[in-house]
Amino acid sequence: MVKLGVDASFWMDDRYEMRFLKLLEKAGFDSVWFGDHYLPWHHSFKHNFFVWPVMAAAAERTKKIKVGVDVTVPIGGRYHPALIAQAAGTLDNMYPGRFYLGVGTGEAMSEKRFMGRWPPWKERMERLVEALELIRRLWTSRDYFDFNGRYFTMPKTYLHLKPKRSIPIYFSAIGEKAAAYAGRYGDRLITANTLETCRDKIFPAFEKAAKEAGRDPKKIEKAVLVEGSIVDVERTIKRIKKIHAGATIMGNFDEEDPRKIEESGLSLTDEHVRKYYLLYENVDDLIGHLDRFRKIGAGHLIFTDFSPYPEKTIEIFRRRVIPYFKG
Protein backbone atom coordinates (compact mmCIF):
# COMPACT_ATOMS: atom_id res chain seq x y z
CA MET A 1 0.00 0.00 0.00
CA VAL A 2 1.34 3.41 -0.97
CA LYS A 3 2.31 5.83 1.80
CA LEU A 4 1.00 9.40 1.71
CA GLY A 5 2.95 12.29 3.17
CA VAL A 6 3.09 16.07 3.16
CA ASP A 7 6.01 18.45 2.92
CA ALA A 8 4.84 21.19 5.28
CA SER A 9 7.79 23.55 4.78
CA PHE A 10 5.67 26.19 3.06
CA TRP A 11 2.86 26.01 5.62
CA MET A 12 4.97 27.65 8.30
CA ASP A 13 3.94 31.03 9.68
CA ASP A 14 5.87 33.43 11.87
CA ARG A 15 4.62 31.77 15.08
CA TYR A 16 5.67 28.23 14.16
CA GLU A 17 2.64 26.80 15.94
CA MET A 18 2.22 24.05 13.33
CA ARG A 19 -1.49 23.65 13.98
CA PHE A 20 -1.66 21.51 10.86
CA LEU A 21 0.14 18.63 12.60
CA LYS A 22 -2.83 17.22 14.51
CA LEU A 23 -5.02 17.66 11.43
CA LEU A 24 -2.53 15.66 9.35
CA GLU A 25 -2.42 12.83 11.85
CA LYS A 26 -6.20 12.75 12.27
CA ALA A 27 -6.65 12.71 8.49
CA GLY A 28 -4.50 9.58 8.20
CA PHE A 29 -1.27 10.84 6.61
CA ASP A 30 1.74 8.57 7.04
CA SER A 31 4.44 11.23 7.15
CA VAL A 32 5.22 14.93 7.44
CA TRP A 33 8.45 16.38 6.04
CA PHE A 34 10.42 19.59 6.45
CA GLY A 35 13.19 21.10 4.32
CA ASP A 36 16.61 22.00 5.73
CA HIS A 37 18.08 25.31 4.56
CA TYR A 38 20.22 28.05 6.08
CA LEU A 39 18.80 30.60 3.65
CA PRO A 40 15.39 30.03 2.10
CA TRP A 41 15.24 29.25 -1.59
CA HIS A 42 13.45 32.55 -2.13
CA HIS A 43 13.94 35.82 -0.34
CA SER A 44 10.26 36.54 0.32
CA PHE A 45 9.74 33.25 2.17
CA LYS A 46 11.43 34.20 5.42
CA HIS A 47 10.58 31.14 7.50
CA ASN A 48 13.93 29.44 7.05
CA PHE A 49 13.68 27.58 10.35
CA PHE A 50 16.40 25.36 11.81
CA VAL A 51 14.85 22.02 11.00
CA TRP A 52 16.10 19.88 13.92
CA PRO A 53 14.08 21.48 16.75
CA VAL A 54 11.12 21.74 14.37
CA MET A 55 11.18 17.97 13.79
CA ALA A 56 11.40 17.28 17.52
CA ALA A 57 8.46 19.61 18.13
CA ALA A 58 6.48 17.92 15.35
CA ALA A 59 7.06 14.49 16.88
CA GLU A 60 6.17 15.76 20.37
CA ARG A 61 2.89 17.29 19.18
CA THR A 62 1.76 14.09 17.45
CA LYS A 63 1.56 10.44 18.41
CA LYS A 64 2.53 8.23 15.50
CA ILE A 65 3.02 10.12 12.24
CA LYS A 66 6.55 9.76 10.85
CA VAL A 67 8.69 12.93 10.66
CA GLY A 68 11.30 13.39 7.93
CA VAL A 69 13.86 15.91 6.69
CA ASP A 70 14.00 16.42 2.93
CA VAL A 71 16.88 16.82 2.80
CA THR A 72 19.88 17.54 5.00
CA VAL A 73 23.40 17.93 3.60
CA PRO A 74 26.19 16.24 5.62
CA ILE A 75 29.02 17.07 3.20
CA GLY A 76 31.13 19.11 5.61
CA GLY A 77 29.64 22.56 5.05
CA ARG A 78 26.94 23.36 7.54
CA TYR A 79 27.05 19.84 8.93
CA HIS A 80 29.77 17.35 9.69
CA PRO A 81 28.33 13.85 9.18
CA ALA A 82 29.06 12.93 12.82
CA LEU A 83 26.70 15.70 13.96
CA ILE A 84 23.95 14.37 11.71
CA ALA A 85 24.53 10.87 13.11
CA GLN A 86 24.20 12.27 16.63
CA ALA A 87 21.12 14.38 15.83
CA ALA A 88 19.36 11.47 14.15
CA GLY A 89 20.30 9.09 16.97
CA THR A 90 18.92 11.54 19.52
CA LEU A 91 15.61 11.94 17.70
CA ASP A 92 15.20 8.18 17.35
CA ASN A 93 15.85 7.66 21.05
CA MET A 94 13.24 10.29 21.88
CA TYR A 95 10.72 9.07 19.29
CA PRO A 96 11.70 5.51 18.31
CA GLY A 97 10.91 4.50 14.76
CA ARG A 98 9.36 7.84 13.81
CA PHE A 99 12.23 9.57 12.03
CA TYR A 100 13.20 9.56 8.35
CA LEU A 101 16.60 10.92 7.29
CA GLY A 102 16.76 12.43 3.81
CA VAL A 103 20.20 13.40 2.47
CA GLY A 104 21.46 15.20 -0.60
CA THR A 105 24.35 17.13 -2.14
CA GLY A 106 22.87 20.54 -1.34
CA GLU A 107 22.47 23.95 -2.95
CA ALA A 108 24.99 26.78 -3.10
CA MET A 109 22.79 29.29 -1.25
CA SER A 110 22.86 27.21 1.95
CA GLU A 111 26.26 25.49 1.80
CA LYS A 112 28.79 27.75 0.05
CA ARG A 113 28.90 30.27 2.89
CA PHE A 114 30.05 27.52 5.24
CA MET A 115 32.47 25.78 2.92
CA GLY A 116 34.24 28.86 1.56
CA ARG A 117 33.90 27.38 -1.91
CA TRP A 118 31.22 25.55 -3.86
CA PRO A 119 32.59 22.15 -4.88
CA PRO A 120 31.56 20.67 -8.21
CA TRP A 121 28.77 18.11 -8.18
CA LYS A 122 31.09 15.09 -8.40
CA GLU A 123 33.00 16.13 -5.29
CA ARG A 124 29.81 16.87 -3.38
CA MET A 125 28.50 13.42 -4.26
CA GLU A 126 31.76 11.79 -3.16
CA ARG A 127 31.52 13.69 0.12
CA LEU A 128 27.94 12.52 0.60
CA VAL A 129 28.78 8.86 -0.02
CA GLU A 130 31.70 9.05 2.42
CA ALA A 131 29.50 10.85 4.96
CA LEU A 132 26.96 8.02 4.84
CA GLU A 133 29.71 5.49 5.48
CA LEU A 134 30.75 7.41 8.60
CA ILE A 135 27.15 7.91 9.79
CA ARG A 136 26.37 4.22 9.49
CA ARG A 137 29.55 3.20 11.31
CA LEU A 138 28.75 5.60 14.14
CA TRP A 139 25.24 4.14 14.38
CA THR A 140 26.47 0.54 14.52
CA SER A 141 30.01 0.39 15.93
CA ARG A 142 30.23 -1.09 19.43
CA ASP A 143 33.65 0.34 20.09
CA TYR A 144 35.76 3.38 19.28
CA PHE A 145 37.18 3.41 15.77
CA ASP A 146 39.38 5.53 13.51
CA PHE A 147 37.82 6.91 10.35
CA ASN A 148 40.27 7.91 7.64
CA GLY A 149 38.40 9.03 4.57
CA ARG A 150 39.28 11.34 1.73
CA TYR A 151 37.13 14.16 3.06
CA PHE A 152 36.52 13.25 6.71
CA THR A 153 39.01 12.10 9.32
CA MET A 154 38.04 11.22 12.89
CA PRO A 155 40.44 9.45 15.24
CA LYS A 156 39.00 7.32 18.04
CA THR A 157 35.40 8.31 17.48
CA TYR A 158 32.28 6.76 18.94
CA LEU A 159 28.56 7.53 19.24
CA HIS A 160 26.88 6.63 22.51
CA LEU A 161 23.34 7.59 21.51
CA LYS A 162 22.73 5.02 18.82
CA PRO A 163 19.33 4.71 17.14
CA LYS A 164 16.96 2.34 18.89
CA ARG A 165 15.62 1.26 15.52
CA SER A 166 17.02 1.32 12.02
CA ILE A 167 16.71 4.82 10.53
CA PRO A 168 16.00 4.66 6.80
CA ILE A 169 18.17 6.97 4.73
CA TYR A 170 16.34 8.54 1.79
CA PHE A 171 18.91 9.43 -0.87
CA SER A 172 17.88 12.47 -2.91
CA ALA A 173 18.19 12.26 -6.69
CA ILE A 174 17.03 14.89 -9.18
CA GLY A 175 19.04 13.55 -12.13
CA GLU A 176 19.97 10.13 -13.52
CA LYS A 177 23.53 10.13 -12.18
CA ALA A 178 22.33 10.89 -8.67
CA ALA A 179 19.67 8.19 -9.02
CA ALA A 180 22.41 5.63 -9.74
CA TYR A 181 24.25 6.69 -6.56
CA ALA A 182 20.98 6.41 -4.66
CA GLY A 183 20.56 2.86 -5.91
CA ARG A 184 24.02 1.94 -4.63
CA TYR A 185 24.18 3.83 -1.34
CA GLY A 186 20.70 4.85 -0.21
CA ASP A 187 18.25 2.78 1.80
CA ARG A 188 15.46 4.46 -0.15
CA LEU A 189 15.09 6.95 -3.00
CA ILE A 190 13.53 10.40 -2.76
CA THR A 191 13.07 12.58 -5.84
CA ALA A 192 11.08 15.54 -7.13
CA ASN A 193 10.39 15.07 -10.82
CA THR A 194 7.58 14.77 -13.31
CA LEU A 195 5.82 11.47 -13.85
CA GLU A 196 7.54 11.00 -17.20
CA THR A 197 11.02 11.76 -15.84
CA CYS A 198 10.54 9.36 -12.94
CA ARG A 199 9.25 6.62 -15.24
CA ASP A 200 11.79 6.99 -18.05
CA LYS A 201 14.97 8.13 -16.26
CA ILE A 202 15.09 8.28 -12.47
CA PHE A 203 13.47 4.97 -11.54
CA PRO A 204 15.31 2.90 -14.22
CA ALA A 205 18.71 4.37 -13.24
CA PHE A 206 18.00 3.75 -9.56
CA GLU A 207 16.80 0.18 -10.08
CA LYS A 208 19.68 -0.72 -12.42
CA ALA A 209 22.29 0.50 -9.90
CA ALA A 210 20.55 -1.21 -6.99
CA LYS A 211 20.48 -4.51 -8.87
CA GLU A 212 24.18 -4.18 -9.77
CA ALA A 213 24.89 -3.63 -6.07
CA GLY A 214 23.20 -6.95 -5.27
CA ARG A 215 19.99 -5.43 -3.97
CA ASP A 216 16.41 -6.22 -4.97
CA PRO A 217 14.95 -3.02 -6.47
CA LYS A 218 11.41 -4.24 -5.88
CA LYS A 219 12.00 -4.14 -2.13
CA ILE A 220 13.38 -0.59 -2.02
CA GLU A 221 10.93 2.24 -1.47
CA LYS A 222 10.85 5.06 -4.00
CA ALA A 223 9.44 8.34 -2.66
CA VAL A 224 8.32 11.20 -4.90
CA LEU A 225 7.76 14.80 -3.87
CA VAL A 226 4.69 15.91 -5.80
CA GLU A 227 4.41 19.69 -5.88
CA GLY A 228 1.25 21.71 -6.47
CA SER A 229 -2.13 22.64 -5.07
CA ILE A 230 -5.83 21.83 -5.20
CA VAL A 231 -7.01 25.01 -3.46
CA ASP A 232 -7.29 28.53 -4.98
CA VAL A 233 -5.11 27.72 -7.97
CA GLU A 234 -4.77 31.26 -9.33
CA ARG A 235 -3.52 32.64 -6.02
CA THR A 236 -1.26 29.61 -5.60
CA ILE A 237 0.41 30.24 -8.97
CA LYS A 238 1.42 33.73 -7.84
CA ARG A 239 2.79 32.28 -4.61
CA ILE A 240 4.76 29.55 -6.41
CA LYS A 241 6.42 32.05 -8.75
CA LYS A 242 7.54 34.09 -5.77
CA ILE A 243 8.77 31.40 -3.38
CA HIS A 244 9.64 28.27 -5.34
CA ALA A 245 9.68 28.26 -9.15
CA GLY A 246 13.00 30.08 -9.44
CA ALA A 247 14.78 27.06 -8.00
CA THR A 248 12.82 24.17 -9.48
CA ILE A 249 11.89 25.34 -12.97
CA MET A 250 14.94 27.55 -13.51
CA GLY A 251 17.34 25.07 -11.85
CA ASN A 252 19.22 27.64 -9.79
CA PHE A 253 20.91 25.15 -7.47
CA ASP A 254 24.32 26.77 -7.98
CA GLU A 255 23.03 30.30 -7.31
CA GLU A 256 23.94 31.55 -3.83
CA ASP A 257 21.68 34.63 -3.67
CA PRO A 258 18.01 33.87 -2.84
CA ARG A 259 17.02 37.29 -4.20
CA LYS A 260 18.23 36.33 -7.67
CA ILE A 261 16.46 32.97 -7.42
CA GLU A 262 13.23 34.74 -6.60
CA GLU A 263 13.65 37.22 -9.45
CA SER A 264 14.07 34.39 -11.95
CA GLY A 265 10.85 32.76 -10.71
CA LEU A 266 8.87 35.97 -11.01
CA SER A 267 9.89 36.21 -14.66
CA LEU A 268 8.04 32.98 -15.50
CA THR A 269 4.59 32.91 -17.06
CA ASP A 270 1.58 31.26 -15.45
CA GLU A 271 1.75 28.65 -18.19
CA HIS A 272 5.29 27.68 -17.17
CA VAL A 273 4.07 27.07 -13.64
CA ARG A 274 1.03 25.08 -14.78
CA LYS A 275 3.24 22.77 -16.85
CA TYR A 276 5.61 21.96 -14.00
CA TYR A 277 3.33 21.80 -10.94
CA LEU A 278 0.20 19.76 -10.26
CA LEU A 279 -2.48 22.43 -10.11
CA TYR A 280 -5.93 20.87 -10.05
CA GLU A 281 -9.29 22.21 -8.99
CA ASN A 282 -10.85 18.82 -9.67
CA VAL A 283 -9.85 16.33 -6.98
CA ASP A 284 -10.38 13.36 -9.29
CA ASP A 285 -7.71 14.75 -11.62
CA LEU A 286 -5.25 14.96 -8.74
CA ILE A 287 -6.08 11.43 -7.60
CA GLY A 288 -5.58 10.15 -11.13
CA HIS A 289 -2.17 11.75 -11.42
CA LEU A 290 -1.03 10.47 -8.02
CA ASP A 291 -2.26 7.00 -8.95
CA ARG A 292 -0.12 7.04 -12.08
CA PHE A 293 2.92 7.63 -9.88
CA ARG A 294 1.89 4.61 -7.83
CA LYS A 295 1.52 2.48 -10.94
CA ILE A 296 5.07 3.24 -12.13
CA GLY A 297 6.48 2.12 -8.79
CA ALA A 298 6.36 5.05 -6.36
CA GLY A 299 5.69 3.70 -2.88
CA HIS A 300 5.61 6.99 -0.99
CA LEU A 301 3.89 10.11 -2.37
CA ILE A 302 4.76 13.35 -0.56
CA PHE A 303 2.54 16.28 -1.50
CA THR A 304 4.16 19.71 -1.29
CA ASP A 305 1.25 22.09 -1.05
CA PHE A 306 1.74 25.74 -1.96
CA SER A 307 -1.78 26.96 -1.32
CA PRO A 308 -2.25 29.55 1.44
CA TYR A 309 -4.87 27.32 3.11
CA PRO A 310 -3.38 24.09 4.50
CA GLU A 311 -6.55 23.23 6.42
CA LYS A 312 -8.53 23.03 3.16
CA THR A 313 -5.89 20.83 1.52
CA ILE A 314 -5.81 18.47 4.49
CA GLU A 315 -9.60 18.19 4.51
CA ILE A 316 -9.68 17.31 0.79
CA PHE A 317 -7.09 14.60 1.36
CA ARG A 318 -9.01 13.32 4.41
CA ARG A 319 -12.31 13.05 2.55
CA ARG A 320 -11.21 11.98 -0.91
CA VAL A 321 -7.54 11.23 -1.55
CA ILE A 322 -6.56 9.12 1.45
CA PRO A 323 -9.69 6.92 1.27
CA TYR A 324 -8.98 6.27 -2.41
CA PHE A 325 -5.48 4.96 -1.73
CA LYS A 326 -6.10 3.30 1.64
CA GLY A 327 -9.69 2.10 1.38
Q: Which residues form the catalytic set?
A: 37, 107
Longest C-alpha distance within the chain, in Å? 58
Question: Closest by alpha carbon to 285, among 236, 323, 235, 320?
Answer: 320
Q: What's the angle, vertex CA 11, arms to CA 260 and CA 187, rounded to 5?
A: 85
Are 79 and 73 spatial neighbours (Cβ–Cβ below 8 Å)? yes
69/25 Cα distance (integer angstroms) = 17
* DSSP one-letter code for 202: I
Beta bridge partners of 222: 189
In terms of DSSP H, where are the helices of the chain?
20-27, 51-60, 81-94, 108-115, 121-140, 176-185, 195-197, 203-212, 233-243, 245-248, 258-266, 270-276, 283-295, 310-316, 322-326
289/240 Cα distance (integer angstroms) = 20
Are 130 and 149 spatial neighbours (Cβ–Cβ below 8 Å)? yes
Task: Check residue 156 and give left, alpha or beta (phi > 0: left; psi -120 to 50: alpha).
Answer: left
Are 99 and 55 spatial neighbours (Cβ–Cβ below 8 Å)? yes
